[in-house]
């Protein structure tokens, strides 16, 4: 099946993003092209669909009416594609995935690579962001699914665990703790500590678990906050502090002796990685097939393949 009239996709992207520039970015086309599509659409409809004031884009009354029908048209088109794909057995289409940083950097690329080998007709896009940002995009239907580390509670979102994870203490490879299986909690509080940014799932899990042991985030000797697991690993490697990150992010670092790892005595940081999607958002066959892979027994084998 051919793509729908591009005017519809452009219109919905601008309406959802409330921005011509953000719509252009999400659709991977230029902003002038977006403007031309909307201008052409308004000429065909004989009405303005957007008001543009002070760099804000809002739907006019005509735009709100049109948006209601465009949403239905796109959903019906997706449903038709899904049913036809089920008849032909060919999985194709687009999947927009939001992945929180640790999963996006160290877990989902291998899963996506395996999926795309089996389903080459699927165009898969991965947007890496923190859990809070992914939640916002799911609620506005600008993502099909999210894979996140932090807990999400919202009545419109479905949350399902698809694999287990553990947070561990990382140290420079020549640090005394690198040769220890466990350390005391008080020892952790005496060391310079490199922290993930506010809003990350890893930070939420770590802080919540420490609080259960009577440790406030203010008790840590925080030297810096960084926005990615990779940045934290590099900071720890050069001796700027210790940190707590996902065990999945350490496979190569431990193999090549770049970093050391230990755990806190009697304090585990077990957590899950979660699939999340908007229960009101239509899931295409391609999306459902990807979800099925996330829930499959073969997932661990895919991740530990060399």
Report the distance separating Cα 180 and Cα 195, nearest Å: 22
CB 242 within 8 A of CB 264: no
H or E segment at 127? strand 122-128
Model's pTM, two decimal places? 0.67
pLDDT score of 231: 94
CA distance 199 to 169: 20
In tens, the pLDDT along 60-105 reads 999 999 999 998 898 888 778 777 776 666 678 889 999 988 899 8
Domains in the chain: ranges and CATH: 1-89 (1.10.10.10), 164-270 (3.40.190.10)
Q: Which of 133, 122, 43, 156 is nearest to 291 (CA)?
A: 122
Q: What whole-number distance in Å separates Cα of residue 225 and Cα of residue 196?
A: 5
**pLDDT over 50 at 1, yes or no:** no
Q: Which two tokens stand for residue 102?
A: 């640790």
Contact 292, 275 (CB under 8 A): no
């Amino acid at each position: 099946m051919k793509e729908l009239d591009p005017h519809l996709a452009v219109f919905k992207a601008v309406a959802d993003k409330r921005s011509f520039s953000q719509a252009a970015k999400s659709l991977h086309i230029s902003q002038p092209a977006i403007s031309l599509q909307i201008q052409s659409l308004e000429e065909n409809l004989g009405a303005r669909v957007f008001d543009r004031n002070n760099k804000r884009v809002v739907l006019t009354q005509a735009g709100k009416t049109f948006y209601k029908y465009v949403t239905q048209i796109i959903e019906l088109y997706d449903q038709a594609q899904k049913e036809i794909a089920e008849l032909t057995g060919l999985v194709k289409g687009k999947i927009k995935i939001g992945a929180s940083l640790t999963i996006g950097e160290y877990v989902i690329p291998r899963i996506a690579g395996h999926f795309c080998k089996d389903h080459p007709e699927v165009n898969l896009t991965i947007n890496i962001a923190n859990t809070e940002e992914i939640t916002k995009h799911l609620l506005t239907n600008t993502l099909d699914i999210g894979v996140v580390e932090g807990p999400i509670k919202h009545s419109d979102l479905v949350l399902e665990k698809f694999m287990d994870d553990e947070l561990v203490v990382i140290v420079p490879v020549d640090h005394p703790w690198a040769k220890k299986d466990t350390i005391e909690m008080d020892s952790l509080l005496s060391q310079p500590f490199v922290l993930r940014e506010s809003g990350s799932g890893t930070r939420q899990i770590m802080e919540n678990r420490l609080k259960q042991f009577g440790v406030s985030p203010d008790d840590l000797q925080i030297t810096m906050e960084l926005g990615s697991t990779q940045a934290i690993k590099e900071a720890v490697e050069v001796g700027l502090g210790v940190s707590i990150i996902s065990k999945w992010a350490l496979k190569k670092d431990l193999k090549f002796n770049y970093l050391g790892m230990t755990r806190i005595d009697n304090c585990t940081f077990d957590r899950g990685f979660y699939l999340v999607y908007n229960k009101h958002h239509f899931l295409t066959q391609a999306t459902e097939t990807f979800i099925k892979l996330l829930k499959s027994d073969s997932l661990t084998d895919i991740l530990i393949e060399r």
